[in-house]
Amino acid sequence: MSRDGLFLSRREMLIGASAAGVVGSLAGPLGSPAFARAPMLDTQAPYFYRFKVGDAQGTIVSDGTLPLGDPRKNFTGLSEEEIQRQLHDNFLPSDNAVLEQNVLVLNTGDRLVLFDTGMGSLRLFGPTTGKLMNSLKQAGIDPKDIDAVVMSHAHIDHCGGCMADDGTRNFPNAEYYITQADYEFWTDETKVPAQFKVFLDTAVKNLTPNRDRIKFIKDGEEFLPGIHAILAPGHTVGHTIFMINSGNSSLCYIADLAHHPVLLLEKPLTEFMYDTDPKQSAQSRMKMLSMLAANRTPILAYHFAWPGIGHVAKQGDGFRYHPQGMKMEL
């Protein structure tokens, strides 16, 4: 073939073939234009994850993300430059510390135990919280089947989901477990600082209607089979973590021993603005994390990135969190 009486060069033929291929790839059936018809989707996977702890089955459900805002206003004792460095080195945003709320439901075979209850309908940190009841439904867990509600402490994001706004119990057949120190502190207007009035109101709303069902837990007590209380005060006066043992396996639910997997681990004496006694909280954090690291005990952290299961290891003067990959086969 020729163009204007000249034969096409090999290069011109290749260019022509390439162009024809591009045009063909943009055409639909019978040469019609092709367009992406699938809509953008705005849904995520259900907010639950199941796993085994020895002979028991754990399900983590979520009350939703809890954005704290500027890390510099929430974590004290570090320079602005140090906070920026830690966040940058760990690929985390510097303008907003976003926490998870990883609620554990433990099925021991004899009991169904819920650890902490989220924020309820309170929107103090925005509209992303308050998902617990829906997450339970997604996970196939009926709130009426919950036998025990175990609370690590009486802050709004841990006791806020015990009661519905209409005054009914979200977990009508459950007994409730918390330390006496936390119950008496957060339901007493003479003890709760004025700037934390919403904490007082939330505790009164959710705890006092259940007073006749509450059993106070003590440090070191095995208050439910296979579940031991370990007092770790400072974040609140009675803040408690829980060691769960089943078969040959253990898991420590560390609750609010550390809210952030970097800022409160790399330099664990850093203080957090919502601590009742920041210095005592830091000492509890050092002591408990040292024990968990030395024993290589798996942890579940309420506020770490979903689903919050992993290990802590010593790193310099502090610790490093190693998240455990999710196993989708039971």
Burial 120-151, CB ≥16 within 10 A → b, else e: bebeebeebbbbbbebbeebebebeebbbbbb
pLDDT at residue 330 in the model: 81
pLDDT at residue 1 in the model: 46
Average of per-residue pLDDT across 119-147: 97
pLDDT at residue 9 in the model: 55
Res. 25: pLDDT tops 50: no
Q: What is the tens place of the pLDDT at every residue in 236-266?
A: 999 999 999 999 999 999 999 999 999 999 9
Res. 31: pLDDT tops 80: no
pLDDT at residue 204 in the model: 98
**HEC profile of 276-308:** CCHHHHHHHHHHHHHHHHHHCCCEEECCCCCCC
Res. 61: pLDDT tops 80: yes
pLDDT at residue 6 in the model: 45
Give how far Cα 318 sits from Cα of 31, 98, 224, 265, 269, Å: 64, 22, 32, 6, 9
pLDDT at residue 34 in the model: 58
Q: What is the tens place of the pLDDT at every residue in 81-90?
A: 999 999 999 9
8 DSSP assignment: P
Q: What contacts 94, CB < 8 A, 6 or more positions away?
A: 71, 83, 84, 87, 88
SS3 state at 310: strand
Res. 15: pLDDT tops 50: no
- Whole-number percent of the chain with pLDDT over 70: 89
Q: What is the tens place of the pLDDT at every residue in 269-285?
A: 999 999 999 999 999 99
Kindly list the strands in the beta sheet with 48-53, ordered across the sheet, starting from the edge strand earlier in the chain.
48-53, 56-62, 102-107, 112-115, 148-150, 175-178, 214-216
Average of per-residue pLDDT across 107-111: 97
SS3 state at 322: strand
pLDDT at residue 120 in the model: 98
